[in-house]
A and B are shown apart, each in its own frame.
Chain A
Amino acid sequence: MTAVLTVHDLHVAIGRGGGATNVLRGAGLEVETGEVRGLVGESGAGKSMLGRAVLGLLPANAAITAGQITFKGRDLLAMREPERRGLLGRSIALIPQDPMTSLNPVKRVGAQIAGLLRHHLGLSNRDALERATELLAEVAIREPRRVLGLYPHEISGGMRQRVLIAMAFACDPALVIADEPTTALDVTVQRQVLQLVERLRQSHGAAVLFVTHDLGVVAKICRTMTVLHAGRVLEEGETADVLTRPRHPYTRALLAATPRADRPAEALRPVPPALIESLWAEAHRLDALSMARRA
């Protein structure tokens, strides 16, 4: 298998000079062609930051201080800006977390999808709208033609997330980055959305980097997974192996602290605070080391 995406020893810091805070501390992962890799972590782990670094959409105050990102054998960080921009939405697409704020509120759904298709695939307006209808049908939206004429506020949250999924797969990208796409959804809607992502990924032949905090979601949709904490990879491997035989104490602790509907309450074990403290101490020790090396 070949890797679509390789992230190697990535360091990202927020802020400048002495006040800079590291958010990624040498994180690395590979996403192979056609696979779904889960990137799991709690808040502050740096998982969304890693996704944004791949997309070239880091916040203005964040910067990559070291590392490589390779997409289909090409060095993304050495690429000129216009070329990299050209990949966005075309070869590397994003399913964003928040379906409420990720669509333009003053443009009809149809115009937003058609605009993307015209820009990247050079379709005529007519062909683009025709293709947009097919895409909405593909994400199981009934009456797709009518929905094309609606504004985002006129459709439900679940339906908005479907529109965003349709847009992500619209140009047959090689890689889709899904950034907690089901976090805001009810469980029954979440299941439908996960089913949809799986179906479209297969029919469009895309690989997916699935960013989430939910080990249950990872178990259901990801073949491989990477566990991130404080910007470092603590464990990675095939999902079936990691979940049944976790090697890192943090992964084991997270699994034991996840409430399960199929087990009585007595099984729940909170994450020992000492474990989290020691992981952060280790991260800060690494920060001090790299500071000293640079000085």
Chain B
Amino acid sequence: MTDILLRTGRLGFAYPEHGGLFRASTPREVIKDIDLAVPRGAVLGLVGESGSGKTTLGRLLVRLLTPTSGGIQFDGVEIGAIGEAEMRPLRARIQMIFQDPQSSLNPRLRLAVTLTRPLQVFGRLKGRRDQRDRAAALLDLVGLPTGFVDRYPHELSGGQRQRAGIARALALEPDFIVADEIVSGLDVSTQAHILLLLRELRARLGLTMVFISHDLSVVRVLCDDVAILNHGEVVEYGPVGRIFNSPQHAYTRQLLSAIPLPDVEPGWLDESSPIVTSHSQGSAA
């Protein structure tokens, strides 16, 4: 039997919609009945377009949001409905990497402080010396020079900032990481480096990840399984090779055929052309 680290059962989330003075409030469902199972050490890709609910789902998984229905089991413990006090010890094991390192790293703090902040919060830091050593070790882990401990975020390039964001998420040695669109804003030449870094870290540290992206091409590089989200529902879910080679759902096929591959393909711009799956010839990953 596979060892499942994270499992959701009929997970749902609805934003309260405030009615008018004489109108009843009707909750707006943005996540509907989602069943996922992420085996320990695996990477699950969550793919969807804007408004699909993928970011909301990611926030539910790390319990930045509380589900309005269904449950989340983390390492056998039901965490969907527990309070912050019970959640706190698990917080160290569950981390998130954010899309925009520009706004998620404090511009006024040196990296030594930012990277070790999670350790400080959990009382695992022993003085200044320890702080610098731990920060340097984290920088080294993500392929940044250890001398960066004294740098501020604005002194880093976009790719370097994203590496720093990853380093901070690793500070507490978590088992589970949710990464939300972390390569979207990066240039191609930087993006591939970050993707390969994540692959390497995953293998080295045995990380379990949920990788959220609008970009199916990027998901193929990193993920074992992929769930396709549309209007808050999972329309297709399975191993990456299967989904890319023989997509079953019409929406998955539409997404795949809309990706412009860097090959000249006359007729791709014909508005009458039916949905074609030009992705089926690739070999199984």
CB of B187 within 8 A of CB of A187, answer no
Decide if A259 is an interface residue (CB 8 Å cutoff).
yes
Known contacts A239-B264, A259-B195, A259-B217; decide if A271 and B269 are in contact (CB<8 Å): no
CB of A214 within 8 A of CB of B263, answer no
CB of B260 within 8 A of CB of A219, answer yes
Nearest A residue to B281 by beta-carbon distance? A262
Task: Give the docked Cα–Cα distance between A211 and B260 (Å).
Answer: 16
Task: Give the docked Cα–Cα distance between A218 and B263 (Å).
Answer: 9
Task: Give the docked Cα–Cα distance between A243 and B263 (Å).
Answer: 7
B220 CB contacts on chain A under 8 angstroms: 259-261, 263-265
CB of A198 within 8 A of CB of B188, answer no
Checking B49, B218, B279 against A186 with a beta-carbon cut-off of 8 angstroms, the contacting residue is B49
B271 CB contacts on chain A under 8 angstroms: 195, 199
> Which residues of chain A in 40-74 are interfacial with respect to chain B, using CB atoms and an 8 Å cutoff?
42-43
Task: Give the docked Cα–Cα distance between A219 and B264 (Å).
Answer: 5
B282 CB contacts on chain A under 8 angstroms: 261-264
Checking B216, B222, B262, B283 against A215 with a beta-carbon cut-off of 8 angstroms, the contacting residue is B262
Known contacts A187-B255, A264-B283, A264-B285; decide if A259 and B269 are in contact (CB<8 Å): no
Known contacts A187-B49, A240-B264; decide if A271 and B195 are in contact (CB<8 Å): no
Decide if A25 is an interface residue (CB 8 Å cutoff).
no
Decide if A284 is an interface residue (CB 8 Å cutoff).
no
Checking A194, A257, A262, A269 against B278 with a beta-carbon cut-off of 8 angstroms, the contacting residue is A262
Nearest A residue to B218 by beta-carbon distance? A259
CB of A262 within 8 A of CB of B189, answer no
Decide if B74 is an interface residue (CB 8 Å cutoff).
no
In this complex, how many residues of chain A approach chain B with their Cβ under 8 Å: the count is 42
Task: Give the docked Cα–Cα distance between A160 and B158 (Å).
Answer: 29
Task: Give the docked Cα–Cα distance between A190 and B271 (Å).
Answer: 13
Task: Give the docked Cα–Cα distance between A145 and B241 (Å).
Answer: 47
CB of B262 within 8 A of CB of A188, answer no
Known contacts A219-B265, A259-B217; decide if A191 and B258 are in contact (CB<8 Å): yes
In this complex, how many residues of chain B approach chain A with their Cβ under 8 Å: the count is 44
CB of A187, distance to nearest CB on chain B (Å): 4
Decide if A285 is an interface residue (CB 8 Å cutoff).
no
CB of A219 within 8 A of CB of B261, answer yes
Known contacts A195-B271, A220-B268, A268-B221; decide if A260 and B189 are in contact (CB<8 Å): no
CB of A268 within 8 A of CB of B196, answer yes
CB of A254 within 8 A of CB of B189, answer yes
CB of A218 within 8 A of CB of B279, answer no
Decide if B50 is an interface residue (CB 8 Å cutoff).
yes
Known contacts A259-B218, A261-B279; decide if A253 and B264 are in contact (CB<8 Å): no
- A154-196 vs B, CB cutoff 8 Å, 1 = contact: the mask equals 0000000000000000000000000000000011111100110
CB of A270 within 8 A of CB of B262, answer no
B201 CB contacts on chain A under 8 angstroms: none
Task: Give the docked Cα–Cα distance between A271 and B189 (Å).
Answer: 5
Q: What are 29 inter-chain pairs, A to B, with CB distance below 8 A? A: A42-B187, A42-B188, A186-B49, A186-B50, A187-B255, A188-B255, A188-B258, A195-B270, A216-B259, A218-B262, A219-B264, A220-B265, A220-B268, A243-B264, A257-B191, A258-B188, A258-B262, A259-B220, A260-B220, A260-B261, A261-B216, A261-B259, A261-B261, A262-B244, A263-B220, A263-B282, A264-B284, A264-B285, A268-B192
New A-B pairs, 5, CB < 8 Å, besides A187-B255, A218-B262, A254-B188:
A221-B269, A253-B189, A264-B285, A269-B192, A276-B189
